[in-house]
Amino acid sequence: MQFPDLPLWTPDESRIARAPLTALARRAGVADYDALHRLSVAHPADYWRHVLDHLGIEWFAPYRTFCVHAPDAAHPRWFVGGRINWVHNALRWARDPRHAGRTALACETEDGRSDTLSYAAFDLQVRRVAGGLRASGVARGDRVGLMLPMGPQAVVALLAVSALGAVCVPLFTGFGADAIASRLELAGARVLIAADGFRRRGRVVEAASAINEAAGRLPLLAHVFVVPGGGPAIEGAFATRPWAALAGTAPIAAFEAMDPNDPFMIVFTSGTTGAPKGTVHVHGGFPLKIAHDTAFHFEVGQGDVWCWPSDMGWIVGPITTIGALTAGATLLCYDGAPDFPDGSRLAAMIERHRVTHFGASPTLIRSLAANEALSTRGDLRSLRLLMAAGEVLDPDHFEWFFRRIGGGVLPVINYTGGTEASGAILANVAVRAIKASGFNSASPGVHAFAADDEGRRIVGTPGELTIAAPFVGMTQGFWQADARYMEAYWQAVPGCWTHGDLVQEDHEGHFFVLGRSDDTVKVAGKRLGPAEVESVVHAALPLRDAAAIGLPDAMKGQKLVVLLQPQDGAAADAVAAFAERASRAIEHALGKPFRPAAVHCVPDLPRTRNGKVMRRVIRRVLSGQPPGDLSSLGNPEALAAIRQLANAG
């Protein structure tokens, strides 16, 4: 990839002056953002004291010590001696007469139904559902599965579980029985809150069958609370009750006072081998990191309206829920397909709800760009900031998002961290210039850099994304799998977290993510990120998507293989010419050594259920290996064409 030399967007002096980061720098007594960032990594205890004061975070009991490495840097304990419950901070606005009547949730469904809840009404709902769960025996530390589409019940349930000191286990609504059973079994969940179905593209998608099959393998499961969604009955060897039985219970009076290191959520993520990994997040970690990022990366505040379409089973669901509510903003939830009844759906929602902050995955951004006439058909002038996260966003689509959705004037906050890190490791801040596809800073409080094989910082060449010290928000480990956690993050460079991303930092301090380091292609000793290749072919050809992978090669160690998914309607003769056009474009852009050994056109690429291309599955199938964990694969039919390629040699 040819990284941009020039900024796409640059803040003016007035924008820098009114930025929340500038206010935080003044509070900390430093001159500017650069000095603030240096403070955040050199003296994190001081930095976080200023952050918590700025955000108005309330504690049941103040902490005595910011961090203790016990027993080591991989297992820190945060805010030692304090007592907190993140739900208390998300609902503090309901206790403020000036704010209680403002909208906490605005929820829209695919069929056009819309509903709102004020902070006061939302607070009462959370307390009632928590009361119902407590009456059913849910107590501190119990694990509760949550498999609901992104709507009021999902948001209320997440807070109600945490309010009791129990641990939420979010599940994607499209999971099959194996994925549901494996995650709830690993977590030891006794309770599940689930929808029996939901609507997508005008029809009911039933979820009950998968839940019923999974439940047969879960002897610990004692209670299932059902949100009606038009599906068949959920039934089995457990007590089944309707959601209304929770929502109609007497409300609890107070939230449990938790140690900051007590878990509130286990989010499962698939690995290349073995069972899913349950990342453990705690009351004094994820919620505080997300409150930080919401204020200082996304600049969300009281009265703003935040929309970032997702599912509670993916990390963006909890991020938006915790971020918007802790900031006193309105969370706009959408339960439906983003292009139903047509591609103007999201633009119309932005106009209808006067959205100020809009986030999208790169997959969604590419879909919007492919249907520009519809996706921009709406009044987008309420927008003040855009966000992108989930995978690498190539420069062309980054610039499209900036110009066509943001009107060429709004900052695009590129954001990367992942399920294990809560929020940002790298991100854009709106007090620095932004380059297309780049990240203009390591997140404050995170000492991140590109490292060589010895763990030394490098600039101008690809390296492993590495973090030099523990950071607020990092997972406390994998649920009941500490050895896997240590192997995944802490063994490559002693004392440092290695994240698994390949990045490059330019000489102006901008980072570019090249892809997962285990997706890295190394041809004759030359490292190449898949995003570099995919950006080239996206710019050269009319594609829906592309995937670049490395396969074993006797001479070069690895060879580059590229799979292309042409846009719908591409003529057969055009598709036949794609391979050569792609090869020439890659050779021209990246050099002759990187000309691909093979380029194939396929009808579709295997993706996770939230749209990420599963390169490791493609790589394993084309290498003749078992595909590995497919529990998050959303379109198994896509593997047929790839298996044919493997069989053809």
The model's pLDDT over 548-565, given as tens digits with 9 standing for 90+, comes to 999 988 767 789 999 999
Task: Examine residue 105 and state whether it is found in any structural domain, yes or no.
Answer: no
Q: Residues 288-326: pLDDT tens digits?
A: 999 999 999 999 999 999 999 999 998 999 999 999 999
According to the model, what pLDDT value does residue 569 have?
Answer: 66
Domain of 525? Answer: 521-647
Q: Say if residue 567's pLDDT is above 80.
A: yes
| pLDDT surpassing 70 at residue 97 | yes
Q: In this predicted structure, what is the pLDDT of residue 194?
A: 97
Q: Does the structure show a pLDDT above 90 at 474?
A: yes
User: Would the pLDDT of 236 be above 80?
Assistant: yes
Tokens (6 digits) for 616: 């490791």
Q: Which of 149-158, 176-185, 243-252 has the lowest mean pLDDT?
A: 176-185
Q: What distance in Å separates the CA atoms of residue 384 and residue 413, rounded to the nearest whole number?
A: 11
Whether the per-residue pLDDT at 649 is higher than 80: the answer is no
Q: Is residue 307 part of a domain?
A: no
Whole-number pLDDT of residue 536: 87
Q: Is residue 492 part of a domain?
A: no
- Work out the mean pLDDT of the chain and round it to a whole number: 93
Q: What is the pLDDT of residue 516?
A: 77
- 589 has a pLDDT exceeding 90: no
Determine the Cα–Cα distance for residues 29 and 434; give it in Å rounded to an integer: 26
Query: pLDDT of 108-144, one tens digit each?
Result: 999 989 999 999 999 999 999 999 999 999 999 999 9
Neighbours of 485 (CB within 10 A): 21
When pLDDT is cut at 50, 70 and 90, the band that residue 51 belongs to is: very high
Q: Torsions phi, psi of 110, nearest 5?
A: -60, -35
Confidence (pLDDT) at 390: 84
Among 47-56, 135-144, 537-546, which is the least confidently predicted range?
A: 537-546
Going by pLDDT thresholds of 50, 70 and 90, the confidence category of residue 94 is very high
Q: According to the per-residue pLDDT averaged within each range, which of 514-518, 628-632, 639-643 is highest?
A: 639-643
In sign, the C-alpha dihedral spanning 235, 237, 238, 239 is: positive
DSSP class of residue 439? B
> Is residue 101 included in any domain, yes or no?
no
- Where residue 2 falls among pLDDT bands split at 50, 70, 90? low
Please report the pLDDT score of residue 272 as a whole number.
46
The CATH number that applies at residue 611 is 3.30.300.30
User: Structural domain tally of the chain?
Assistant: 1
How would you class 296 by CB atoms within 10 Å of its CB: exposed for 0-12, middle for 13-18, buried for 19 or more?
buried
Let me know if 269 is exposed, middle or buried by CB neighbors in 10 A (0-12, 13-18, 19+).
middle
- 223: helix, strand or coil: strand
The DSSP symbol for 461 reads S
Give the per-residue pLDDT at 110. Answer: 93
Of residues 531 and 436, more confidence is placed in 436
The bridge status of strand 223-227 relative to strand 521-523 is: unpaired
How do residues 412-441 score in pLDDT, each as one tens digit?
A: 999 999 899 999 999 999 999 999 999 999
* Residues paired with 598 in a beta bridge: 561
The residue type of 564 is L
**Residue 571 is assigned to a structural domain of this protein:** yes
Is 562 inside a domain boundary?
A: yes
Q: Please, which pLDDT band fits residue 630 given cuts at 50, 70 and 90?
A: confident
- Given a cut of 90, whether residue 161 has pLDDT beyond it is yes
Does 534 reside within a domain?
A: yes
**Residue 160 within a domain:** no
pLDDT of residue 325: 98
Rounded to two decimals, the pTM is 0.89
